[in-house]
Amino acid sequence: MMIFKLALGFIILVFGALTSVQAQSSPTAQPEQNNIRVWEQEIVFPSAIRFSVTLGLPPQDVREVTLTIQPDTRPAITIPMNLAETIIIGGEVTGIEYIWAIPTENPPLLFRDISFAWEAVSIDGQTAQVEDRFMFSDERASWLRDVGISDTLTVTIPNGAPTITTATAIRVGISEFKTNLKQVMNLLTTNLGSVPDFSLIVYDNSLPICSENAEGELVALGFNMPLEVACDPTVANAIFADSQYILLQVRSASLSAIENAISDYVVSKSHEQIWTGRDIPAWFKVGLTQFYSPALKTELGAPLFTAARTNSLLPLDVMSQSAGEGTNTDLWQSESYGLVVYIASQVGIDGLFRLANNAASAETFAEAYTNTVGKSYNALLDSFERWLFTDSAISAFAFTPYQAATPSPTPSRTMTSTRTPLPTSTFTPTLTPTVTGAHTRTPLPSRTPTNTPTTAPATNTPRPAGSLNTHTPTPTTNTLANPTANPNLTIGIVILVVGAILVLGTAIVLFRPKR
């Protein structure tokens, strides 16, 4: 069956080579090429490399053929071809194919060159030889290689389908991707002092290292030809390790999912180096890792608030271990993050990170918690459950440590000195304090100025005539001012006096006694 697949693949290869110059590895003739017509190679990652060559001689005219493989920084390997097994096509030409199994010891290095040479000797002693090279990589994808995030983190990620051009388009969103991860690395370095060096290579779920065939066997698949080769994950691990890459497999090809996976990995591994041998509860490890992530965690709130209303939060002894069989995984994840962000609301973000560092030196995590928070570890779950019914708990799930600084007041009557919040990790989220143990007086109306308009005070600034509305006073009878002479009144009085004189004169004439 395997021979049939190889023969079918080579027929397709030869047909393509005869009809298209793109099938040739190098279109430029070499001085000693002679009767070598076509040569080709295909990487069946991570298991093998298929080499093939076509000679312009019938099989009976070929005496010997040799393949020399020289991976960069590795010893050269010379392989004489067994013509009885490697000739897969005959007639007027001779087709030879050899599948080189990648060794576990000293495998080729990723993104480094592999040089190779074919040499063929005919029956009459004529020699033909070609040399070529190619870069060793997983050819099923193009790659964004060694993207620099910080001094201690570089990432290599798939960048879509492979292309025959040398130019690689920059993946959409890569700038924000780099900025977010740089924030994580800077915050880690600030809190821990130093972090390990990470050189990650990411594989998403659309690009499995080994695939499973119909028989349930692990195989590596050829990219150009229908070829299956047995796949051993240990060979892949050797390739990544010798190439100084850490393999990180992600369940999604989206850039945000890759970003979250990288953030979780570097945070987790950075803290492992200081927590070695300590009894750090699983909820704190997972919750702190989530807290460092730039992504919002609003979706983690729903299972937790539902559990709080139904009094079904998971106890701390269950939370101290990874979510096992029968445990509500969604609730376990939500409660892990909720406990961590609750601690941050009580002691600030600096206090949370201080707890993570103190846990590396304290005898127990409970001791580190009490020394940092100032409360008993046994009371944590009860306090946390009460906090879940506050408005601040809802807003906490939309918070990340990379937001702008917003200080929150301390619920206390005692005057305390606090540092001025800076735009760094020293700020605390805006969380409403809950006052317990005492009732305060109902606040009275304050004299705080409002927006209600008031009459402007009088000033000495002269204003133009008519600019103000002047109130006209109502006249009164008991005024103290001297009356002003009225010419109409005077004329009326004169007329009355003259009339009175005329009436008096007429009366004297009429009633005078007769003589």
For 253-322, the DSSP string reads -SHHHHHHHHHHHHHHHHHHHHHTT----HHHHHHHHHHHSSS--GGGHHHHHHHHHTT-PPPHHHHTS-
pLDDT tens digits for 326-340? Answer: 899 999 999 999 999
What kind of architecture, by CATH, is found in domain 2-135?
Sandwich (2.60)
In the chain, where are the structural domains located?
2-135, 277-409+423-433
- Evaluate if residue 280 carries a pLDDT over 70: yes
Mean pLDDT of 437-448: 44
% of the chain beyond a pLDDT of 70: 74
Q: Looking at the chain, how many residues does it have? A: 515
**Most confident residue range from 15-24, 263-272, 498-507:** 263-272
- Give the pair of three-digit tokens for residue 286: 């997972």
Query: What is residue 489's predicted lDDT score, i.e. its pLDDT?
Result: 55
The answer to whether the beta carbons of residues 146 and 154 sit under 8 Å apart is: yes
Pairing of strands 94-101, 48-55: antiparallel
Query: What is residue 51's predicted lDDT score, i.e. its pLDDT?
Result: 97
- Average pLDDT of the residues of the chain: 81
- Evaluate if residue 226 carries a pLDDT over 60: yes
CA atoms of 149 and 245, how far apart (whole Å): 15
- Evaluate if residue 434 carries a pLDDT over 90: no
Of residues 21, 18, 87, the one with CA closest to residue 57: 87
% of the chain beyond a pLDDT of 90: 64
